[in-house]
Amino acid sequence: MKYRKFKEQLNQYASFSVPNNRDLLVDPSQYIQSELLATKTKPFQWLKLLTLSGSLALILCALVLTFHFLPKTRITLDINPALKLTLNHYNRVIDVSGLDEEGDLLVDSLEKTSGSLSSVLESIQAMALADQTLDSLASPMLFGIEGSNYQQEHKIKTIILAQFDLTLTPVIVINQHSEESPDRVYRYAMIEAATMIPSTGMPEYSTTACMTTTAMMNTTMGMTTQSAYSPSTDQPDTTSGVANSDYTVLNYSIIEFRVLAESLSITEAKLQLVLDIFVGYSEYQTYDHLVLLSQLSLQDLYPLYQNLNNPN
Amino acid sequence: MGDSLNQLVKALQAGNMDAFDAIYEKTHRKVFFIILPILKDRSLAEDIQQDTYIRMLQSIHAYREKNFLAYLLTIAKNLAINEYNKRKRSVLTEDIEFDRSDYPFINHLEIEAEKADFIRDVLSVLDQQERNVVLLYTLENLTHREIAAILDKPLGTITWIYSKAIKKIKKRIKEESS
């Protein structure tokens, strides 16, 4: 006998006894939910949808709030005193604080310490004029912007310049990033090698006479943007008249730059302004000169800076 | 069968109750076979079989899937497991993992006396799992995939068990003949 034959016999003589209880299900239509009954389930579905959309709304709110309260950009404002403004993702001011005691006093008297950048700047200028921190609308203001990239910083710079364009207030805005390079701008200065900044506790500086092409910095005066100095090669700018064998080019890293600003008790923006003047004028050569410049008020520095950029 | 079953389901959704009879006829055995090895109690399996169809009817308006048989068997399996868990708690039996493939389906086999000895003799060379696979495949015309679902085993295992069983049966038949 073959297996196929066995299979046939198995099919023919054997079978499973499986109950067929179809008759016990009397009127199965009673179990089928009518459209009317089916729609009764809709509130539950609506409830689920409502819960889902509620959760999504909560997540959205959390994201918006996170972006609102998360600091994105920092602005320093030098008007003697100095202030720090913290901006969120939407370029709205979320905090204003003083960088020195006088700054704290000014902040305490401010009407607005949050909101749009324009309104907060307006409030700061108004209060500074009221308590005679600023002599007049023509008193210069120095801004330093520390954002995540050039585009963002440029956007904020535009807002600042537009704000003070109408009042003809002289404004210097210093970015942390340049348009040419996505990297953070490195500041540099030339200081007499023999008088290497002793008080900063900084690591020894490179004494190699090099200057990176990225060591350019855009400074803006009023509505015009121009480079304070723009070396075209990796060599010191000999056209400035101050670079010779007696001087050593100091390449500052951003950390060293910050340490120097801190040791001089000035903002990074003011240090850059001071360095621009220090490099631009041949009479300033030693570290003491640098310290002296750093102690001058913005009102005193501004004409020097202006003269540097517009020699005629 | 799949296509026609899906057509019947569409007809049932449209309110055609004759379609239910046809669906019941096509599926009730498979539903029973998937419940039985879980509960190991024939009368209880019959109750759950009925519950399966009631549950299916109650939710048929929301059915949108493509494989109705798999959908129905899933309902049956879940109801059977729920019932098993319920009874396990009430009688405080030990939590013994049941192996569905070892359930003796042969106990529900009815064989005509004329060939009973021969058939039982041939089937005796198979172990329980092999017997289950051969019987479900031969008598119920179930696919290996459906048997895998009923016995809760991977498809490959069922195919392998089946081929092993055939070899044993052939050998036994040969011995009988000689």
Residues A124 and A239 in one domain: no
Residues B44 and B105 in one domain: no
Rounded to an integer, the average pLDDT of A46-60 is 91
Q: What is the pLDDT of residue A237?
A: 36
Residue A217's pLDDT band (cuts 50, 70, 90): very low
Residue that finishes a domain, picked among A177, A209, A237? A177
Q: What is the pLDDT of residue A259?
A: 82
Residues B116 and B82 in one domain: no
Contact B115 A20 (CB under 8 A): no
Residues B125 and B65 in one domain: no
Contact A29 B21 (CB under 8 A): no
Interface-testing mutation among B138, B141, B147, B164, with chain A (most A C-beta atoms within 10 A): B138
Residue of A nearest to B43 (CA): A19
What ipTM was assigned to the predicted interfaces of this complex? 0.83
Give one DSSP letter per residue of A218-265, joined into a string: EEEETTEEEES---SSSS--GGGS--STTEEEEE--HHHHHHHHHHTT
- The pLDDT tens digits for B52-108 are 999 999 888 888 877 898 899 999 999 999 998 888 777 655 555 667 888 899 999
**Residue A141 domain boundaries:** 69-177
Residues A185 and A312 in one domain: yes
Residues A190 and A307 in one domain: yes
Residues A168 and A80 in one domain: yes
- The pLDDT tens digits for B2-55 are 458 888 998 888 888 889 999 999 999 999 999 999 998 899 999 999 999 999
- Is the predicted pLDDT of residue A14 greater than 50, yes or no? yes
N-terminal to C-terminal alpha carbon distance within chain A: 119
Residues B87 and B18 in one domain: yes
Residues B53 and B128 in one domain: no
Residues A113 and A97 in one domain: yes
Q: Hey, which bits of chain A come out as E strands? A: 14-16, 73-78, 82-87, 92-98, 115-116, 141-146, 171-175, 188-192, 218-221, 224-227, 247-251
Cβ atoms of A159 and A120 closer than 8 Å:
no
In a domain, A109, yes or no: yes
- Is the predicted pLDDT of residue A203 greater than 80, yes or no? no
Residue that finishes a domain, picked among B53, B71, B91? B91
In a domain, A14, yes or no: no
Residue that finishes a domain, picked among B63, B91, B119? B91
Residue that finishes a domain, picked among A121, A144, A177? A177
Residues A166 and A193 in one domain: no
> By a Cβ cutoff of 8 Å, what residues of chain A touch chain B?
1-3, 6-7, 9-22, 24-25, 28-29, 31-33, 35, 38
Structurally, how many domains does chain B consist of? 2
Output the pTM of the full model: 0.46
Contact A6 B46 (CB under 8 A): no
Rounded to an integer, the average pLDDT of A45-63 is 90
Residue of A nearest to B62 (CA): A38
**DSSP letter, residue A121:** H
Rounded to an integer, the average pLDDT of A269-292 is 86
Look up the CATH number of the domain holding residue B136: 1.10.10.10
Residues B65 and B48 in one domain: yes
Contacts of B116 in chain A (CB under 8 A): 13
> By a Cβ cutoff of 8 Å, what residues of chain B touch chain A?
12, 15, 17, 20-21, 24-25, 28-29, 32-33, 42, 46, 49-50, 53-54, 57-58, 60-62, 105, 108-112, 114-116, 118-119, 122, 135, 138-140, 166, 169-170, 173, 176-177
Structurally, how many domains does chain A consist of? 2
Q: Hey, which bits of chain B come out as E strands? A: 109-111
Residues B6 and B78 in one domain: yes
Residues A129 and A145 in one domain: yes
Of A3, A17, A28, Cβ closest to residue B166: A3
- Is the predicted pLDDT of residue A99 greater than 60, yes or no? yes
Contact B110 A14 (CB under 8 A): yes
**Residue B77 domain boundaries:** 2-91
Residue that finishes a domain, picked among B60, B91, B122? B91
Q: How far is CA A19 from CA A22, A146, B32, B41, B141, in A?
A: 9, 81, 8, 13, 17
CA distance A18 to chain B (A): 6
Distance CA A122, CA A109 (A): 13
Contact B170 A3 (CB under 8 A): yes
Cβ atoms of A290 and A274 closer than 8 Å:
yes
Q: What is the pLDDT of residue B52?
A: 94
Contact B17 A28 (CB under 8 A): yes
Contact B138 A11 (CB under 8 A): yes
Residue A241's pLDDT band (cuts 50, 70, 90): very low
* Token couple for B92: 């405080």
Contact A1 B173 (CB under 8 A): yes
- Is the predicted pLDDT of residue A168 greater than 90, yes or no? no
- Is the predicted pLDDT of residue A228 greater than 50, yes or no? no
- The pLDDT tens digits for A172-181 are 888 877 777 6
Of B17, B24, B61, Cβ closest to residue A29: B17
Contacts of A15 in chain B (CB under 8 A): 109-110, 139
Distance CA B99, CA A249 (A): 83
Contact A19 B138 (CB under 8 A): no
Contact A16 B118 (CB under 8 A): no
Residues A191 and A150 in one domain: no
- The SS3 assignment for A73 reads strand
Question: Do strands A188-192 and A115-116 pair parallel, antiparallel, or not at all (unpaired)?
Answer: unpaired
Residues B61 and B126 in one domain: no
Residue that finishes a domain, picked among A177, A206, A240? A177
- Is the predicted pLDDT of residue A224 greater than 70, yes or no? no
Contact A15 B17 (CB under 8 A): no
Contact A18 B28 (CB under 8 A): yes
Residues B172 and B106 in one domain: yes
Most confident of A31-45, A127-141, B25-39: B25-39
